[in-house]
Amino acid sequence: MSLSPLDAAARLAGKRGRVLLHSARDDDGLGRCSFATALPSATLIGRGRSLVRLDGQGRAVQRFSADPFDATEQFLAEHGCTLSGASGAPPAPRVLGYFGYDLARVVESLPGGPTLGHDTPDLWLSAYDGVARWSPSGDFELVGPDPSALAAALAFVAPPLLAPRFGALVADDDGAHHMARVDRVRDYLAAGDVYQVNLARRHVARITTPGDPLALYSALVEAAPAPYGALIEADGLAIVSGSPERFLASVGDRIETRPIKGTRPPGRDGAAELAASTKDAAEHLMIVDLERNDLGRISETGSVRVDELGYVVELPTLFHKVSRVSARPRGGLGYAELLRATFPGGSITGAPKVRAMQLIDELEPARRGPYCGAFGHFAPTGFELALAIRIGVIKGHELRVHVGGGIVSDSDAAAELAETEVKIAGWRAALGKL
């Protein structure tokens, strides 16, 4: 049997816990393998410290209160995934899922935050007995302790995709309100309260005709392919991703992050303009220093290094400035301690991180939910998590898409508003194809 990742995901339509992690484009050597699966044997779902475990039929078998990062580490260990160096071979994931931005409230002291959008789990992880894997060379195989149920599901040819239909993507409030929030951040910057804040803006489209979210993902891939494409159907919501950014991954005996900070629209001079911009360079360096600090909390002394600083990567709809930062984790480190030290990512919060998150709570009109969290896979031989940017969340009768950018002292409110339009262009193009 030979299938493409999208074909396999189509054959799994209607199966509980369908997940597609799709390397639709190899930008900068990221996300080179693709995976598709469904029918989890166990699931962990969390909201704050309230957690529930589901069995393979989706039935609740345990409700309990605990630190969600400790519960994550235990769940991963039960399925053979402990934090260790990557082997270099293509991974065989056992657990896939996502971490929502609001898990940060378990780690840091934050205000209550807005109530709008407060209806999605902070954590969804599922364990699978079988996963379809496509290696960087395109080789397809089923991996896992018992992929027989997955093989049976993939044996049936999928019917044609029924594409959903959406209304227009409309921001929660108008551009003037977003520019006012940018100016408010600049007031805090001028007072020395913070150095940078990543400020996001939410857009919502009503679902006019229900359909398979895979059709939306397929349209997004056509408009803006990304190394961390994904469809995650997580018991009541669906996440569709076109993320270009690595949050954390095991690379040999090191853990690596690749923060993105700095954006330009496509065009002949976009890359050169971004490379030469002193504003973007300063903004980028702040986040690199923040990531170095976060990794320093869990690493061997002296092992943190910037492997490559501030290079420009071209994506289908824009240019980004990227750095590679890595560290060698100290002995005995587990996933709970790693995630508490680094979550959420610095490039989508600001600096200092905690104060930036407090201002995000104060200024953004809607909760971020899965946006600006992380998603990916865990295997016995390593892990890889993408930053949950350029994602859409289908919940109830609407599609929610956040876009944002870093605000520093010399930011221009109109330019920051324009940047959000550049970043949402891929989504508008995708909806136009349905």
Q: Which residues are catalytic?
A: 245, 261
Given a contact cutoff of 8 angstroms between Cβ atoms, the answer to whether 396 and 286 are in contact is: no
Among 135, 130, 131, residue whose Cα is nearest residue 33: 135
For the chain, state the CA radius of gyration: 20
User: Vertex 90, ends 89 and 94: CA angle to 5°?
Assistant: 115
The single residue listed with the structure tokens 């402990």 is 82
Q: Show the beta-strand stretches assigned E in 113-172.
A: 123-127, 131-134, 140-143, 165-166, 170-171
Calculate the CA dihedral of residues 32, 38, 43, 47 and round it to 10 degrees: 70
Question: For the packed helices 278-296 and 335-342, what is the interaxial angle rounded to 10 degrees?
Answer: 150
Nearest to 98 by CA among 355, 333, 389, 338: 389
Strands (E), 156-304: 165-166, 170-171, 196-209, 228-233, 237-243, 246-251, 254-257, 260-264
Q: Where are the beta strands (DSSP E) in 315-432?
A: 319-327, 350-351, 374-379, 382-387, 391-395, 398-407
Residue 6, helix vs strand vs coil: helix
